[in-house]
Amino acid sequence: MDFEFSEQQRMVRDMVRAFAADRLRPGAAARDERGEFPADIFRELGELGLLGMMTPEAYGGAGMDALSYLLAVEEIARADASVAVGVSVTNSVCQWPIARFGSDELKARVLPPLARGEVLGGIMLTEPAAGSDLAALRTTYRRDRDRFLLSGSKAWITGASVGAIFVVLATKDPSLRARGISAFVLDARQPGVVVHPPEKKMGLRSSVTAAVTLEDAEVPAANLLGSEGEGMKIALATLDHSRLGIAAQALGIAQAALDEAMTYAKQRQQFGKAIIEHQAVGFRLADMDAELEAARWLTYRAAWLSERAGKLSRTSAQAKLVASEMANRVVAHAVQVHGGYGFSREFAVERLYRDARVTTIYEGTSEVQRMVIARALRDLETTAPM
Ligand SMILES: Cc1cc2nc3c(=O)[nH]c(=O)nc-3n(C[C@H](O)[C@H](O)[C@H](O)COP(=O)(O)OP(=O)(O)OC[C@H]3O[C@@H](n4cnc5c(N)ncnc54)[C@H](O)[C@@H]3O)c2cc1C
């Protein structure tokens, strides 16, 4: 067993940590307040090679391993979780399935501008009546000579108004449920894609999220991922990988909350001493530290496993479940340590508390992660390590 980071992993983490401290943390509170998407920061992230981290070098990406990518997302989320979700989405739910399931021609055409950060990517799975139950989606597609035409309503699409390339799930017949669903690569810069005004969100306020209507949106036939009818399989394989990015986002938010709580508890005096000296506060910080460390190593191990053969579903669901639930407990503790000041927008923990909330919801709720794990347990006799 080897718990050492590789040279590359350490380099990525240190580089992103320095960039985050210099360029992300200082403006995070103001961007949250204004609900402003930082296009300039995404340009810089692209120049640093952070928007195509796992995409093969042959297609303009950095060709890095999953853990290097997660370390970058974690460090970014520690400074600004809104930026972290944008980084996660273009890297994982968009480029990963294209690199994995696209034809060589499709990859050569769409991946380089995404990987270089010249355009941003995302995914359109969710619909008003199809969230956890993705097989209930109603966006339809029909073939028209050398193209597909997609029509329907998508909900909660991260990057909707700022992204160009989206992986989209649509069905040829909703009554077929999962069997009818295919995955397409859609260029959203066309009249058939109508982006609605951004959602007014509790957290991640400088990330854009919006509903999208597809009105005979055109997709070249060559932009089909895999074969027709494989959309659900592609989406589930993608989520097995991309969930680790949300786990890393949760780790970063929790780390920031613990950092803030430790600093505050050392400096705030009550009853004649720093509050960290009161055992109840010290123990609270100890629980935060221990839980964060446990979730972190579960997530890192899942990243390591994702590079090897075998099914990832249970491991990635465990990491996402544990890290996101942990982050919500840790941010709540951090607010408590701050007392009344934790309830004020003047202190970073207030934003961290709001930003953590969605991590147990998107890319599969905690209940969905438990369903994935429970399904895997049905096929196992023991979970003892081999
Ligand atoms: C900020 C944000 C960004 C997002 N970005 C994207 C994006 O880029 N692309 C995209 O496609 N989607 C995106 N989503 C959508 C997100 O993935 C969904 O919100 C999520 O999958 C849950 O779906 P839902 O909201 O329809 O909830 P529902 O599925 O309606 O669930 C409601 C509640 O019921 C529970 N539930 C449902 N079924 C079961 C069951 N069988 N057993 C037990 N409990 C159950 C759920 O766990 C949840 O608590 C985003 C959402 C948010 C909030």
Interval 249-276: pLDDT, tens:
999 999 999 999 999 999 999 999 999 9
H helices of the chain, in order, are: 7-19, 25-34, 39-47, 66-79, 81-88, 96-101, 104-115, 231-267, 279-306, 313-337, 348-356, 366-378
Tell me, in angstroms, the distance from the centre of ligand 1 to residue 158's CA: 13
Cα(254)–Cα(184) distance, integer angstroms: 35
Pocket residue to mutate for ligand 1, from 156, 158, 212, most atoms within 8 A of Cβ: 156
What stretches of 23-174 show up as alpha helix (H) in DSSP?
25-34, 39-47, 66-79, 81-88, 96-101, 104-115
pTM: 0.98
At how many degrees (to 10) do helices 313-337 and 366-378 cross?
140
The answer to whether residue 350 is catalytic is: no
> What atom of ligand 1 comes closest to residue 126's alpha carbon?
11
User: Does CATH number 1.10.540.10 belong to domain 7-115?
Assistant: yes
pLDDT digits (tens, 9 = 90+) for 292-309: 999 999 999 999 999 998
**pLDDT at site 53:** 98
Per the residue annotation, which of 75, 127, 260, 363 is the catalytic one? 363
Which pLDDT score is estimated for 260?
Answer: 98
212-219 average pLDDT score: 98
Report the alpha-carbon distance of residue 247 to residue 249 in Å, rounded.
Answer: 5
The overall average pLDDT reported for the chain is 97
Ligand 1 centre distance from Cα of residue 43 (Å): 30
Give, using CA atoms, the residue closest to atom 22 of ligand 1: 131
For atom 17 of ligand 1, the residue with the nearest CA is 362
User: How does pLDDT run across 8-39, given as a tens digit for each residue?
Assistant: 999 999 999 999 999 999 999 999 999 999 99
Q: How confident is the model at residue 380 (pLDDT cuts 50, 70, 90)?
A: very high
Return the best residue to mutate from 204, 214, 365, 369 for the ligand 1 pocket (most ligand atoms within 8 A of CB).
Answer: 365
Task: Give the model's pLDDT for residue 153.
Answer: 98
pLDDT at 386 over 80: no
Q: Is the pLDDT of residue 311 over 90?
A: no
pLDDT tens digits, 359-376: 999 999 999 999 999 999
Ligand 1 atom closest to Cα of residue 154 = 11
**What string of DSSP letters covers 50-68?**
-SSSSS-GGGTS----HHH
- Contact between 262 and 361 under an 8 Å Cβ cutoff? The reply is no
Q: Compute the distance between CA of residue 102 and CA of residue 226 in angstroms, rounded to an integer.
A: 6
Cβ–Cβ < 8 Å for 58, 75: no
In this prediction, residue 1 has a pLDDT band, given cuts at 50, 70 and 90, of confident
C-alpha 365 to ligand 1 mean position (Å): 6
Interval 90-141: pLDDT, tens: 999 999 999 999 999 999 999 999 999 999 999 999 999 999 999 999 999 9
Cα(247)–Cα(310) distance, integer angstroms: 20
CATH architecture of the domain with residue range 232-378: Up-down Bundle (1.20)
In this structure, the residue with its CA closest to atom 30 of ligand 1 is 131
Q: Does domain 121-228 have CATH number 2.40.110.10?
A: yes
Task: Report pLDDT for 98.
Answer: 98
pLDDT of residue 35: 96
Any residues with Cβ below 6 Å from ligand 1, and which? 89, 122-126, 131-132, 156-158, 201, 204, 209, 358, 361-365, 367-368
Share of the chain above pLDDT 90, in %: 98
Q: What is the pLDDT of residue 48?
A: 97
Per-domain boundaries in the chain: 7-115, 121-228, 232-378
| CA 129–ligand 1 middle distance (angstroms) | 10
Span 144-180, pLDDT tens digits: 999 999 999 999 999 999 999 999 999 999 999 999 9
Cα separations in angstroms, 44 against 16, 143, 268: 12, 39, 37
Q: Atom 38 of ligand 1 has which residue's CA nearest to it?
A: 132
pLDDT at 385: 83
